[in-house]
Amino acid sequence: QPPENAQDHLFTVTSNALGFRDPPRTAAKPARTYRILCLGAYQTFGLGVDDDEAFPRVMEKLLNAGSPGMRFEVWNGGLPSATAILGLARMSKEVFEYKPDLIILDYGFVDAITLDDNLMPVALRLPSKNTPSVLMKKALGKLLSSPFARSYLVNKALQRAMHLHRKESLRGWEEAMTRMIGMARAKGVHVFLLDQGWVLAPESDFERIA
């Protein structure tokens, strides 16, 4: 964050040994525990809010407050910029080791706006210690924040580029989501899909996948 903005956007992020944005958890599930794993991007991670304000932690508190005699764990597996292919990789390699009873999938927003490897210019991902890279980043930063970058024509050009890429993005997203649901069903694990139709596709796309 630029120094003038940083103080207005401070929030705490704490990761546990298993890589979730949570307090310490054990891979072995305690008795009489219903375990929910939330996988997704910015919304699940809770970008911009403290640990206790991310929705998985709020959900855990509400469930435990209303269910005496039963313990709920809601794990926050959200990661900024995550796409469905990352969720598929996690489900293939680690998720079922934790014996979840329910998996909540919150993917789609990033999938819809990603062009090829990354929407952002390559120069913005160059090493920050390299002098030419630093100069290029500063120049691009000024350009992207200029009235020109916010102009009608530039916005229209970006929208057109994203529209041309959208079918391919949706196809990859749908394939990964379908495979994740199939894996969960094979393990007897329930799945919830969080509809992101407002940015990705009509509700019918989520309903069809479900």
pLDDT in tens, 85-144: 999 999 999 999 999 999 999 998 788 776 555 444 444 455 556 667 677 767 766 776
Q: What is the pLDDT of residues 40-77, one digit of tens each?
A: 999 999 998 999 999 999 999 999 998 888 999 999 99
Give 128: exposed, middle or buried? Use CB within 10 Å, 0-12, 13-18, 19+: exposed
CA distances to 15, 17, 20, 63, 101 from 30, rounded to whole Å, are 21, 17, 18, 16, 13
Give 165: exposed, middle or buried? Use CB within 10 Å, 0-12, 13-18, 19+: middle
Strand partners, 77: 39
Give 151: exposed, middle or buried? Use CB within 10 Å, 0-12, 13-18, 19+: exposed
